[in-house]
Amino acid sequence: MTSLSLPIYSKKTKIKGFHGTLSENVDSILKNNFYESEKEIWFGKGVYFFIDGISSESLDYWAKHHTFDNCKDKHKPKTSFEISVLTAEISVNEDLLLDFTNDKLKKMFNGFRRDAIAAAEESGKYIKSQLTDSKLLAAFKNLMEFEFVKSNVYIRLGILRRAEIGSKIDNVTIFVVNNPSKHIQKPSIKEVFKGEIS
Amino acid sequence: MSYESIKNRYDKLFARPDIGDLIVEALQNQGVEFAETKQPYFVSTDCQLSFMDEYKINALDIYEENEELCIITQAA
């Protein structure tokens, strides 16, 4: 498809993000920058950060414990992991930011979701039950050339996980970056925590 | 304001006459599958004949689409 002719001048802001990972990945990240997850999670592929927003917990808390929970689920029966928390300065072009904390942009995506379902149905060959949030979002991001997503989400960690509390009330703000080498300068990446978590 | 810039992009994109095709292509790129042909609906010949007899129709084609039985008919 043809380019949408993004504006020449775009407002840029800097955001500090916290990212948790296994300590064994740190050298590679410091040397090569972050790599995008390919998994179909939350907001599709990208590098996921916790950023300042609605959380009452510290951001390194989220980075540590979210990484630990992921590892615990993935590498059973292992129960302890050496985890690092990295911070990075993200240079954000606001014209490329799909900000779900902005009601107008959320409304825009809801319009796209409706139009996408209609387009799929009109094609006459659509197989139902495939339009997951992450696929719709990835299609929307590609069409609109977004490279960042910001959203408040609910994550069940720590005491919430122990108490098995499900909720529709968001508790943390996340930020997803595509093409990290374009938007994150390697010297800005710092390891702020390293330790064994069990 | 960045929202205005994004809205302009959105309006420009969605004004394109081929937007439906672009959306379908974007979904396919994300692994959403579109069947190449209509899904055949397998019913026994006896069942088809009984159905056609009951409703006094001649079915030219019977297929399943979006979990619904579609019947192309011709008045008997």
Q: Stretch A102-109: mean pLDDT, rounded?
A: 96
A135 inside 8 A of chain B by CB: yes
Question: Does B61 reach chain A within 8 Å, measured CB to CB?
Answer: no
- The answer on pLDDT for A118 being more than 80 is yes
ipTM over 0.85: no
Phi, psi of B43 (to 5 degrees): -130, 155
Contact between B9 and A6 using a beta-carbon 8 Å cutoff: yes
Given a cut of 90, whether residue B35 has pLDDT beyond it is no
Closest CA to A97 of A141, A43, A66, A31: A141
pLDDT for res A198: 78
pLDDT, position B47:
63
Report which of residues B63 and A148 the model is more confident about: A148
- Whether residue B34 and residue A120 make contact (CB cut-off 8 A), yes or no, is yes
Q: What are phi and psi of A65, to 5 degrees?
A: -75, -30
No. of helices (H) and no. of strands (E), chain A: 6, 7
Express the helix, strand and coil content of chain B in percent, nearest 5 each.
45, 25, 30
Report pLDDT for B31.
87
Residues 6+ away with beta carbon under 8 Å from A176: A42, A43, A44, A46, A47, A48, A49, A148, A149, A150
pLDDT score of B40: 47
Q: What is the pLDDT of residues A53-104, one digit of tens each?
A: 999 989 988 999 888 888 877 777 777 889 999 999 999 999 999 999 999 9
Residue A58 tokens, joined: 């510290």
CB spacing of B27 vs A128 below 8 angstroms: no
pLDDT of residue B21: 92
Compute, in degrees rounded to 10, the torsion defined by CA atoms A13, A181, A148, A75: -130
Taking 70 as the threshold, does the pLDDT of residue B49 lie above it? no
Distance from CA of B66 to the nearest CA of A (A): 7
Which residue in chain B is spatially nearest to A130 when comparing CA positions? B32
pLDDT band at A52 (very low <50, low <70, confident <90, very high): very high
Q: Is the pTM of this model over 0.90?
A: no
User: What angle is formed at CA A146 by the lines to CA A13 and CA A151, rounded to 5 degrees?
Assistant: 70
- How many CA atoms lie less than 13 Å away from A126 in the CB half-sphere? 20
Task: Read off the pLDDT band of B44 (50, 70, 90).
Answer: low
**Predicted confidence band at B76 (pLDDT cuts at 50, 70, 90)?**
very low
pLDDT confidence tier of residue A165, bands split at 50, 70 and 90 = confident
Residue entry with tokens 């069940």:
A156
User: How sure is the predictor about B58, in pLDDT bands with cuts at 50, 70 and 90?
Assistant: low
Q: Across the interface, do A142 and B26 touch by the CB < 8 Å criterion?
A: yes
Contact B57, B48 (CB under 8 A): no
